[in-house]
A = this chain, B = another copy of it.
Amino acid sequence: MRKLQIKTRHRQHFVDITQQLNSLIAQSGVSSGLCCLFCPHTTAAVTLNENWDPDVQRDMALALDSIAPQRSDFQHAEGNSPAHVKTSLMSSDHTLFIEGGRLLLGRWQGVYLAEFDGPRNRQLYIKIITE
């Protein structure tokens, strides 16, 4: 198993980790298989989306703040319940494909560590499985 250390810089921050994942895959020597991702946090997740226009991530952040807003009737003492909700919506685990020694992604896709309660130092666990 491999690990990435990811520094997030804002309360809500989508960090593109596509290149770091491709470096780990290259090191592994696996040309075809699966790249399983697991985010061991409860206020950060992983998601895939467009990595071409940064406005997509900006709009995603706006939308998520409306989907899971802060509420006066939340009781979790840390006050970060919206971040917990967003984490469950985006999912902590994703299974991606490896072909040709790198992630198989669509033309516009990137892989993001999605921070919902930053800035923080986050970890991502990765298993690279050969076919």
A residues near B (Cβ < 8 Å) are 1, 32, 34, 36, 38-42, 47-50, 53, 55-56, 58-60, 62-64, 67-68, 71, 73-78, 81-82, 84-85, 87-97, 99, 104-109, 125, 127, 129, 131
- For the complex formed by this chain, how many copies does it contain in all? 3
CB distance from A81 to the nearest CB of B (A): 4
- In the complex, are the beta carbons of B96 and A38 less than 8 A apart? yes
- In the complex, are the beta carbons of B97 and A74 less than 8 A apart? no
Interface-centre pick from A88, A104, A105, A125 (highest chain B CB count, 10 A):
A88
Distance of A88 Cα from B38 Cα, bound (Å): 16
Contacts of A91 in B (CB 8 A): 47, 91, 94
- In the complex, are the beta carbons of B76 and A53 less than 8 A apart? yes
A-B contact pairs, 5 of them (CB 8 A): A40-B107, A50-B84, A53-B77, A67-B85, A92-B109
